[in-house]
Amino acid sequence: MIVEMKTGASRPEVDAVVEKAKSLGLDVQLNLGTDKTVVALLGSNTGQLPTDIFEVLPGVESVTRIMKPYKLASRTFKKADSVVDAGGVKIGGQRIVVMAGPCAVESEAQLMEVAEKVKAAGALILRGGAYKPRSSPFSFQGMKMAGVELLQNARERFGLPVITEVVDTADVSPIAKYADILQIGSRNMQNFSLLTKIGKTGRPVVLKRGFSCTVTEWLTAADYLLAEGNEQVILCERGIRTFEDSARFSLDISSIPVIKKFSHLPIIVDPSHAAGHFSLVPAMARAAIAAGADGLLIEVHPNPKVALVDGAQSLTPSDFARLVEELKPVAKAVGRFI
């Protein structure tokens, strides 16, 4: 249930709504806008409560029931687009943000070479996997904290904010000390204990869509982060599993305008994981920008042929630089820029 306060409603009037909600056993989340305040009432029994309990309170303009399971991620709770600030880079605004780097941090030399070249090509954020959850226990699992520290070194050297994945609740605090953005991978989209702990950090978060999850399930998972008071949430479409096997996953381009319609959260796209092969990445990236994505997450490796993880879907630095130039006219065509 969403309670929209009148423009200029006083703080005591807002507090009265909050106190009433808590007296009914409801949790409360406030969206303090410039002109008005919106109060989200959270609880399993909101569907049974009459709306006039809150409509009669001073300062209340309207009360709306939310039929979808997600609340805080919805447009009803917040009409304006959210913009996330990650290390000084704003995601969700007019500029399309390109994040690029290796799927896995393999060595200092590899990471520094990629960081230098993707920055020169126009990337604003450096991506790099330090903890790599893999389908097989015999595959390379990443350099772990040593990799996180290398990302920190690259950030200091090249001035690029960094994004890296967190896979375990025990690693949240140490990684949050170094990373500008914490990534929650597809496999962990519904790891609610991990979502809750990351939400408490207040750090910007990229929440990847589970490869077998609906948009509604995805936005409901985002509510776990938002419910902890963390408003720095970015969604990432990375393809879903369908009957089609010509690409690694089926990139759900339709999810971008759907998210824009129903949610205020920014959305980026990972064409690399959806494609599974470098030759498909440019077309998917162009399509994502045309559909309204706020950014891209692209894998780049100095020599994909010897990459320890996902070499087939990684671009070379020169291919990445070429792609960024190809994306500029697409961005301009939809009224944005890179």
The full set of domains in the chain, from first to last, is 2-64 (3.30.70.1140), 84-333 (3.20.20.70)
Q: Which tokens in the block code for residue 41? A: 């009432």
C-alpha span between 74 and 152 (Å, rounded) = 34
Q: Which tokens in the block code for residue 276? A: 């599974």
Which pLDDT score is estimated for 138? 66
Q: How many residues does the chain have?
A: 338
C-alpha span between 178 and 257 (Å, rounded) = 33
Q: Please state the pTM of the whole predicted model.
A: 0.91
Among 279, 313, 276, 274, which Cα is nearest to 291's?
274
Per-residue pLDDT of the chain (338 residues; tens, 9 = 90+): 999 999 999 999 999 999 999 999 999 999 988 788 999 998 877 777 889 999 999 999 999 988 888 999 999 999 999 999 999 999 999 999 999 999 999 999 999 999 999 999 999 999 999 987 767 776 777 789 999 999 999 999 999 999 999 999 999 999 999 999 999 999 999 999 999 999 999 999 999 999 999 999 999 999 999 999 999 999 999 999 999 999 999 999 999 999 999 999 999 999 999 999 999 999 999 999 999 999 999 999 999 999 998 899 999 999 999 999 999 999 999 999 99
C-alpha span between 157 and 113 (Å, rounded) = 11
Mean per-residue pLDDT of the chain: 95
- DSSP letter (8 states) at residue 153: H
Read off the amino acid at residue 207: L
Alpha helices in 236-316, H assignment, sequence order: 255-262, 271-275, 281-291
The three-class DSSP label of residue 68 is coil
Distance between the two ends of the chain, CA-based, in angstroms? 38
Which run of H or E residues covers position 100?
strand 97-101
Among 32, 35, 126, 120, which Cα is nearest to 86's?
126
C-alpha span between 280 and 314 (Å, rounded) = 10
Say if residues 236 and 263 touch (Cβ distance below 8 Å): no
C-alpha span between 191 and 146 (Å, rounded) = 25
Q: Which tokens in the block code for residue 266? A: 């920014």
